[in-house]
Amino acid sequence: MRNRSVGIIFGSLVLWGVITYFLFLDQPSSKDHGKQYKISKQITKLEERLKHQIAINHEFFQNFEETRKKLKEKFSIARPEITIPNINQLHKINVEKVFEKNVDTEKRTDSKDFQYSTKTEEIMKLKKSLPNGDPIIAVLVFSCNRITVQRCLDQLIKLRPSALQFPIVVSQDCEHEQTAEVIAKYGDQILHIRQPDQSDIDIPPKEKKFKGYFKIARHYGWALNQIFFELGYETAIVVEDDLDIAPDFFEYFLGTYPLLVSDRSLWCVSAWNDNGKSGLVDEHAPHLLYRTDFFPGLGWMLTRQLWQELAPKWPKSYWDDWIRQPEQRKNRACIRPEISRTRTFGKIGVSNGLFFEKHLKFIKLNEKPVPFTKMNLTYLLKDNYDVSFMNEVYNSKVITYSELKHGHATTPSPVRILYYSRQLYKNTAKMLGLMDDFKSGVPRTGYRGVVTFFYNGRRVHLAPAMNWNGYDITWS
């Protein structure tokens, strides 16, 4: 019995010792105390900073709300002036203040920094359509240091059917006073705005000789922001100061406007045919229009919705090549004509006349007006177009370039010339007089890899094999 009691006491002492030992181990060391102190101190500092930031934010939002109310009151006073049906008043919505050269505010031309103003939403409601429902489409003319902008403006003003429906905004870069004087002579027939940021651009050493392309991209980004976000237009036609326009230039864009805003697979309408030289177009078919995967430019229409997508990532240079990349195009197409509705007369520019002497000066400008607004153009909608176009292409007879050139084709129907490689395409295109380059793998005027043109009195499709599975960007 005694041994049993001793055993119990001994066991209890051992258990107590083990418990005491583990309790002692569980106590935080001095290092742990140090860590806890540092963490506590950091948390305290964070709390202080958070409280300070909350106070700053509160003050900022109070100031913002006061400014918003003032702007809203100011705009509500100016609004009656806008409703007067006069083109000069339609343009001038606090325009002097919008475009005032303020170094602190206007030099923020990066589209990523662009902020909507309170008046923008109100202006947008006013500049979408006319009282009869017809769309208002701004014409944005890019100008720099060429006084020949007068030639372009004279044609635009003469041919536009309505100054209210097609307000002209001339955006000038370069601060070239002789050009500014020419533009000023048009008075309230146009709105003249000036790109305020004339500072030097940080350009990589290897690209110094391409400085002009950096300035053009900056100008485009700024001017399109003004058109869509400040002036509040819903749709715009982009024109450069060295373009002649066809008599039905405005009719063409009015007729295709419903397609652009209804078909999400379209992202622009262009007045330009890259292969539109005399001899490569059917001059008896000025009514023909096509879809193309290649962004043509040179007189093109876009919507504010597209610009909202592109503006935040607008490039610092080479904007037209950038816009042709798959990341921007997203498999969308443009509409382009058989016969161009624009033609460039500007041999001198940042491209130093590239392609002008060999190609651009031979582009055929349409002379026979076509009533596009009275035509049914639904054949250009993707679902309709893809079926009929691909059937025509791949049901056409295959011939060789030699047979085409010497008129040995036995059918008056459209014919097809095949290509299987980049080099074969380029060789054939050169022989035919087509432009042979690729941008992001897409040939000029190409649609689903097919380039359509007119040659020796017949329609010709330069086409890949039927199992074509998309553009190869390495072909660029």
340 conformational bin, left if phi > 0, alpha if psi -120 to 50, beta if neither: beta
Active site residue 320: yes
> Which residue do the tokens 């153009």 mark?
377
CB 144 within 8 A of CB 220: no
The alpha-helical segments, DSSP class H, found in 281-325 are 304-310, 319-323
Separation CA 116–CA 382 (nearest Å): 34
Give Cβ neighbours of residue 344 (< 8 Å, ≥ 6 apart): 240, 242, 243, 244, 298, 356, 360, 363
290 conformational bin, left if phi > 0, alpha if psi -120 to 50, beta if neither: beta
User: Measuring CA to CA, which residue among 301, 224, 307, 190 is closest to residue 255?
Assistant: 301
CA 380 to chain centre: 21
The active-site residue, picked from 244, 320, 321, 472, is 320
Give Cβ neighbours of residue 193 (< 8 Å, ≥ 6 apart): 95, 99, 169, 170, 171, 172, 223, 226
CB 425 within 8 A of CB 441: no
User: Measuring CA to CA, which residue among 433, 439, 434, 388 is closest to residue 414?
Assistant: 388
> Would you name the residues annotated as active-site residues?
320
